[in-house]
A and B are shown apart, each in its own frame.
Chain A
Amino acid sequence: MIYRENGQFKSSYAADQQMLPIGQDRVFMVALLVFVFAVLPAVLGDYVFLSLLIPFLILTIAAIGLNLLVGYCGQISLGHAAFMAVGAYAAYNLVLRVPQLNFLLVLVLAGLVAAAVGLVFGIPSLRIKGLYLGVATLAAQFFIDWVFARVKWFTNYAHSGSVQTAPIEMFGWTIDSPVEKYVFLLSLLIVFTLIAKNLVRSHIGREWMAMRDMDVAAEVIGIRPVYAKLTAFAVSSFYCGIAGALWGFMHLGAWEPLAFNLTLSLNLLFMIIIGGMGSVLGCYFGAAFIVVLPIVLNQVPAWIGFPISTAMASHLEFMIFGALIVFFLVVEPNGLARLWAIGKEKLRLWPFPH
């Protein structure tokens, strides 16, 4: 009966609207922050940062962005990697052409460019719904991929279509080592998580969710679909644009249009579905599941000293990964975040079963 909210009363609406209304959660959060900022950098090796944590952090930002659109506003998009590409190429060109710009500003601008493009590709959502819209957004995916592969200006006339970046410098700090990147990205992620949380708790967030749950009723109480849907597209693309820029600059270092292909889009979608639609926390779970699990699965045979061929290992990885997706959905169709919530609920009732 450690985890209980009894005896924790709220005396104002502000207190009631806190993000973590339960005291134990706040303690846990502080401990977690100390752990990720202070303990992890001290104990983990480069590989974990470069291959697991950095992609995880960046893709979580992207997943939050996509979740705002799909999970909160109910507009399915299968083409969000394209907006990441927009962000990445916008940042590349900004850094290339206006070298004196501070990188934080570059990020914001890249996000804004992506938001603008997202807005344009969001227009069909005013007429098309559900999976139809999902497939329609594929047009964005393929068209934008194509533009970056074909219009030479975007890649600074690189003949291979591949671009590369130099390490980032900001306020005299060169973000180069894996740990530095990790800390920078982690801070960004926290900021973006808070912003997302704030948005979905505000009236704009409620407009999105209303649009998602029942669009006719939403209109009748005065929500304009145009505004709600397009802001969702814009904010969501903004997140993805920033994630794209980070993906290019902090993770890949050198990339080609293919780096932001349909597979990445689908992966983002997997993340939010596995993690939980309409849950910011779910994005963390989802990103961890999709980014980390395959890599871990791939290495399991080696760890347990079970000699199988790489081919077999990667086939197995596919099979187990697929089976796990189905398994988790069967256990909880609303994603890992819901599983987490149920777990917490049980903990709250513990030791009573109901």
Chain B
Amino acid sequence: QAQDKAGVPAQKKAASAPAGEQFFPVLSYRTGAYAPNGVPFANGYVDYLKLVNARDGGINGIKITFEECETGYATDRGVECYERLKGKSPTGATLFHPLSTGITFALTDKSFTDKIPIITPGYGRADSMDGTVFAWNFPLGGTYWTSSDMLVQHIGKKEGGLDKLKGKKIALVYHDSPYGKEPIPLLQERQKMHGFELLLLPVTHPGVEQKATWLQIRQQRPDYVLLWGWGVMNSTSIKEAVATGYPREKMYGVWWSGAEPDVTPAGEGAKGYNALTFLAPAGQGAVHKDILKFVHAKGEAAGNKEGFGEVLYNRGMTNAMMSVEAVKRAQIRYGKKPLKGEEVRWGLENLAIDAAAIKRLGFEGFMAPISTSCVDHEGGSAAQIHTWDGSKWVVEPGMLQPDMSIIKPMIRASAEKYAAEKKIVKRDCAKETS
């Protein structure tokens, strides 16, 4: 029996609903070094699932059940959670959302035998957008290659053209883990193209010691600093930037380094700091009203409403929404019944959330349209820059788009290498009917 672990027992089944339940495992981290970021995200994710049950009576009448499992952002713990939850409920887990690049790497391996999709919106392996090799991975809406590409383009624009980057110095301050290292190949590619200098400055987990890193920045005086941190590392970076007098305006965080817990601990000092935002900036829209009405009003908010309407909460919500939409899409093909992971994959591969759908779902302004296929598991990537003004995030108008002509060949090469190492037979998407 699945339990609502976030505070309240799961809803009773509505009598009229079709038989069965759709089971969503929730890998979260509400404790440890990464809790400040993990908590609001998990709240958003869970609240949205509850909303679907309370407002719509489930996904087309199929109740959602879910269970949280604490990973602590640790790979081994995440794998254990995966094993524990993957077989729950008769149909097994719908899909997994590991919220950690390290866990994603470990689960990717298992997905081939377990046939359960892993969605990693905005993180995970960049090459996993290639659905012919990574049959079960879905980096919906962006990867670290698209995000770093957009950042370089943005900086180029600021300098007055990508060609102006020549001779400039860009520093990447990154979490010393697969997460932080993912953007490096793309940045190196761009470095070759534009002739800027790239400084690589790793920061060790959990990231509270950055004195030497920022001394190096003070010495080298890079023109821009890209921040690829998570958890407490982000706020520490901003504090150290303050302490070494590095202008925050020249700092650009990836979308995981641009939420409220990243800036508020630095207080005034964070003013002017920029970051990418995709899938949900801060703020409230139609869906928030629903959540307040159907979930919070009944006193069923996950985790004391922490972070409601903030960047990570909204992102968690959006992630949940895409998962639910994928199930909905798959139901069209497989019928209104609890679906297996394998069937949900079809939904994920045929996801088409256009502007109208976004509006209908109450997510207007929180995401760009997404459309996936068997080959393309990303479904398009777009993001904006937002800046912290001392009390809130201000979104800069204008969407950024990655240059896929650079990224595509890299993805192909990388996916080929993976397939060779793992002896994977590639899928032939042309043969698979959609």
Contact = CB atoms under 8 A, between A and B. Distances in A.
B9 A162 contact: no
Interface residues of B, number: 48
A258 B303 contact: no
Given A258-B102, A259-B76, A310 B421 contact: no
Contacts of B105: 160, 162, 164, 254-256
B80 A258 contact: no
Contact of B84 (A51, A161, A176, A258): A51
Contact of A160 (B70, B75, B125, B422): B125
Given A164-B422, A253-B110, A255-B106, A310 B6 contact: yes
Chain A contact residues: helix, strand, loop or mixed: helix
A45 B182 CA distance: 36
B191 to A, nearest CB: 14
B70 A256 contact: no
A200 to B, nearest CB: 30
A47 B84 contact: yes
B178 A162 contact: yes
B5 A302 contact: yes
Contacts of A176: 113
Nearest to B2: A302
A149 B422 CA distance: 21
Contacts, number: 109
Interface residues of A, number: 37
B8 interface: yes
- Residue among B70, B105, B202 with the highest chain A CB neighbour number at 10 A: B105
Contacts of B80: 51, 295
A340 B67 CA distance: 38
Interface in A180-211: none
Interface in A34-52: 45-47, 50-51
A164 B68 CA distance: 27
B205 A314 contact: no
B31 A314 contact: yes
Contact of A164 (B8, B28, B421): B421
B298 interface: no
A256 B102 contact: yes
Contact of B5 (A51, A149, A161, A313): A313
A308 to B, nearest CB: 8
Contacts of B178: 160-162, 256
Given A160-B125, A160-B181, A253-B110, A298 B70 contact: yes
A161 B70 contact: no
B109 to A, nearest CB: 4
Contacts of A258: 75, 102, 177, 205
Contacts of B3: 302, 305, 307
8 contacts: A96-B421, A159-B185, A161-B178, A164-B422, A256-B178, A258-B177, A309-B303, A310-B6
